[in-house]
Amino acid sequence: MTRELAFVQVDVFTERVFNGNPLAVFLDGRGLDDGEMQAIAREMNLSETTFVLPTTRADCAARVRIFTPGREVPFAGHPTVGTTWVLATRGLLGGADRVALEEGIGPVTVELEGDPARPTFVWMLHRDAEFGPEVTNRDGVAAALGLRTPELQPGAPIRVGSTGSPFLYVPLRDRTAVDRAALDVTAMRRAAGDPLPGVFVFCAEDTGAYSRMFAPHTSRIAEDPATGSASGPLGAYLVLHGLVTGGGAVHLVSEQGTQMGRRSLVHMRLRGDARGVTDIGVGGSVVPVLEGRLTMP
């Protein structure tokens, strides 16, 4: 006896189809076990695939499980933003413009701009960012990216940051260095330590950053076109280390995925200055691509 599973595929953090980060959303994950969800995510072969389930919490509208081709993750940005948009456009959020989704880290609050039935923009709210100690082996980190040490941003620390999912933040001098970066996982483990999270390289710009993220060793994702869970700490990093101007209410944009032909614009809003950052949100637009049914044995 076979089962048919309905899914929707969208592009997230873009206003144009075939840009941004693709996401498959399975509208009803009931009856699927962990292994089946992982097998489906491998079959879809996208950065992430989500499965919508009934929530176990009274304060959440739905439960969302998130799988990369290699593992389940407790929290991620473009799956949260994209799944929210899909649920809203199918009337599954009750017309609300602010709800919470149950994810592996707990409730994740999302806000919808425009018509709640067809939102033009979705924001995902983040916890406050936490950062680890500076990675001092700058020569080793640069070499692990195929770069020279002068191509690192002078005076900006290399460190792990997280608002729920950790990433190693490596600030580079300019776009040329970001585009040239190529991760050697073994060398980066020697330089930055193990376990090694996803590696997020970027250069600061007046309005935000130009970015790339590599995670072949954690999620079977050679490069991610847009990483919302990494963009919250990125915004905090930029403000805390004075790499962007301004304080108080700050709105920044990270351009990611351009090098791989999937230009994404990840918006970041926050409040703070060099002394501290709060009220982090990451958001973007979503466009529909296709709908289909997957047949399961």
pLDDT of residue 132: 98
Place of tokens 């791989």: 260
pLDDT at 185 over 90: yes
Strand partners, 6: 293
Range 74-81 average pLDDT: 96
List every span in the chain annotated with CATH 3.10.310.10: 3-127+285-296, 130-280
Q: If we measure between CA atoms, which residue out of 173, 176, 170 comes closest to residue 145?
A: 170
Catalytic: which of 15, 36, 43, 48? 48
Range 257-283 average pLDDT: 96
* CATH (residue range 130-280): 3.10.310.10
pLDDT of residue 35: 98
Give the whole-number percent of the chain exceeding pLDDT 90: 96
Euclidean distance between CA atoms 97 and 115, whole angstroms: 8
pLDDT of residue 279: 97
pLDDT at 246 over 80: no
pLDDT of residue 245: 82
What are the start-end ranges of the H helices in 145-184? 175-180
Range 59-80 average pLDDT: 97
pLDDT of residue 297: 85
The answer to whether 111 is a known catalytic residue is no
pLDDT of residue 247: 78
The answer to whether the CB of 266 falls within 8 A of the CB of 226 is yes
Range 173-196 average pLDDT: 98
**What's the whole-model pTM score?**
0.96
Query: Per-residue pLDDT tens for 112-168?
Result: 999 999 999 999 999 999 999 999 999 999 999 999 999 999 999 999 999 999 999
Place of tokens 């929530």: 55
pLDDT at 16 over 80: yes
CATH topology assigned to domain 3-127+285-296: Diaminopimelate Epimerase; Chain A, domain 1 (3.10.310)
Burial class (CB in 10 A: 0-12, 13-18, 19+), 51: buried
pLDDT of residue 111: 98
pLDDT of residue 135: 98
Mean model confidence pLDDT for the chain = 97
Euclidean distance between CA atoms 223 and 216, whole angstroms: 7
Query: Per-residue pLDDT tens for 81-118?
Result: 999 999 999 999 999 999 999 999 999 999 999 999 99
pLDDT at 231 over 90: yes
Query: Per-residue pLDDT tens for 17-33?
Result: 999 999 999 999 999 99
pLDDT of residue 95: 94
Q: Is 83 helix (H, G, I), strand (E, B) or coil?
A: helix
Peptide bond into 195 cis (omega under 30): yes
Helix (H) or strand (E) holding 190: helix 185-192
